[in-house]
Structure 1
């Protein structure tokens, strides 16, 4: 049984040499998750770690049921999740419609590159907590600064990915399009943008991941609902079961959205890796 999952399979027809890393890894991933969960059960069962530091899976599940029905931190889990999803997805779509055009513009125009590149490269390495106080001073403690903080975190990787995608276009493609009478606008739309799509989708995946990691920092701004707020509130009372439950929920939604972006990538750019 295990041979077909762990042994290298013959190359597919038309592919004499198998590509490095080719093959299905789903079984290995599932088994890794099963082993980790089994270790979690075992460690908490024999009492190697105190429950205040690592609660049992059963305790985390009970807290999940309680959060779904009775609620924690003055809201149900559905309400916390809806608040966080609205912030992350709002910031993501706002970054998508601004960062991608800016990145493409940086790739095709030296003036735009000179204007935006120093700003993006300056704040990109900064952790969101570094400019969180400034966001609060500028915009207060309402809903907008939470979304804006996540937006800033997503904007930089998406813009850089779009710019890298533009730079990946071969000059032969551009020259061929010009030779067939294409205008500059047609070159950008039909040649450069399509060639940059794989990098843009990579930036989208990185961006949505960064957005979820920034969520906790964003919900430090006088939030009353949200998964990050729920985790921070539980940490103040050493409620590790709630903390772990919140981490699992955040990780679950981050993983689902990553799968969704991968699926859209496969549908919208089927030529990736084939040309």
Structure 2
């Protein structure tokens, strides 16, 4: 085959004049890249598990402190099934513990978004409001959740209320701060063009500022969900069973390190899935992000 024939037979993967790749070439390139990254992640996981097993085999630490990967897997299976008449851990399956915690995170972050987005819009648009409320948002943002958990327990008891309030207070400041920064970052020429077309303050806020700031607002909500997830273990240290934090707390009391590690892994994996879902929502809700 001649060079000309080979060139004609090969798929065209060169970028188009507008910078985009041809459809077939783009799919092939994306699939190959995804395969490479997946293989790299699997290799890193295998190396990590092998190093973990080597440390356990060498007896560097007692088995009760550092269980083997097999011990953790066994604890994971036992916590997820009914065995010898025992239902999971603390009479709840692992998925039930995780589901309760995710429900608390969803409620807490939902309330935080309902309050934090309007608050951020006010801070970003109305200067007197910013002067009064922005220091308070910064103050709350710098507080660790455990600093006010005891106060919430005194106010609301040990039922669901202090857990939800803790997650609301943990998630609200990043949402409000991200919203305020996003609104302030809306291009001035865009605002002036809308005003020239007769847009009033409310129309300007809802039709121009809010859509332009929406990508950063969603990023703030995604960060807030992560903060709420890191706070849920603290929230569930008080009467938190069922709940993944309560499960870990109970396992720690009885030196069940394998159950603790299984719970931590469950939190991490569910956090990865949750973050991927939020990224998908961002792509659907703000398809114009990153485009002119």
With the shorter chain as reference, the TM-score category is 0.7 to 0.9
1:11, distance to aligned residue in structure 2 (A): 9.1
Q: Distance in 2 between matches of 1:89 and 1:98?
A: 14
Deviations 1:38-87 (A, max 9, x none): 32233334444432222112111111111112311232213212221111
How many residue pairs get matched?
260
1:228, distance to aligned residue in structure 2 (A): 0.3
Q: Partner of 2:151 in structure 1?
A: 134
Q: Partner of 2:68 in structure 1?
A: 56
Q: Distance in 1 between matches of 2:228 and 2:148?
A: 15
Matched, 1:177 2:189: no
Q: Distance in 2 between matches of 1:139 and 1:184?
A: 40
Secondary structure of 1:124 counterpart = helix
Q: Partner of 2:9 in structure 1?
A: none
Gaps of at least 5 residues in structure 1 are: 1-9, 17-22
Question: Alignment RMSD, CA only?
Answer: 2.1
- Structure 1 consecutive aligned stretches of length 4 or more whose deviation exceeds 4 Å: 10-16
Deviations 1:190-228 (A, max 9, x none): 211111112112111210110110001100122232100
C-alpha change, 1:181 and 1:29, in structure 2 (3 Å) is farther
Q: Partner of 2:137 in structure 1?
A: 120
State which of 261, 268, 282 in structure 2 corresponds to 1:244. Answer: 261
State which of 45, 50, 54 in structure 2 corresponds to 1:42. Answer: 54
1:121, distance to aligned residue in structure 2 (A): 1.1
1:33, distance to aligned residue in structure 2 (A): 2.8
State which of 78, 86, 94 in structure 2 corresponds to 1:66. Answer: 78
Q: Partner of 1:149 in structure 2?
A: 166
Q: Distance in 2 between matches of 1:87 and 1:260?
A: 18
Q: Partner of 2:37 in structure 1?
A: 26
Question: Would the aligned equivalents of 1:103 and 1:159 in 2 still touch at CA under 8 Å?
Answer: yes
TM-score, normalised to structure 1's length?
0.88
Q: Distance in 2 between matches of 1:33 and 1:183?
A: 55
Q: Partner of 2:273 in structure 1?
A: 256
Q: Partner of 2:286 in structure 1?
A: 269
Secondary structure of 1:200 counterpart = helix
Moved more, 97-106 or 31-40: 31-40
The structure with the larger Rg is 2
TM-score, normalised to structure 2's length?
0.83
C-alpha change, 1:197 and 1:134, in structure 2 (3 Å) is same
Question: Would the aligned equivalents of 1:208 and 1:254 in 2 still touch at CA under 8 Å?
Answer: no
Q: Distance in 1 between matches of 2:229 and 2:46?
A: 25
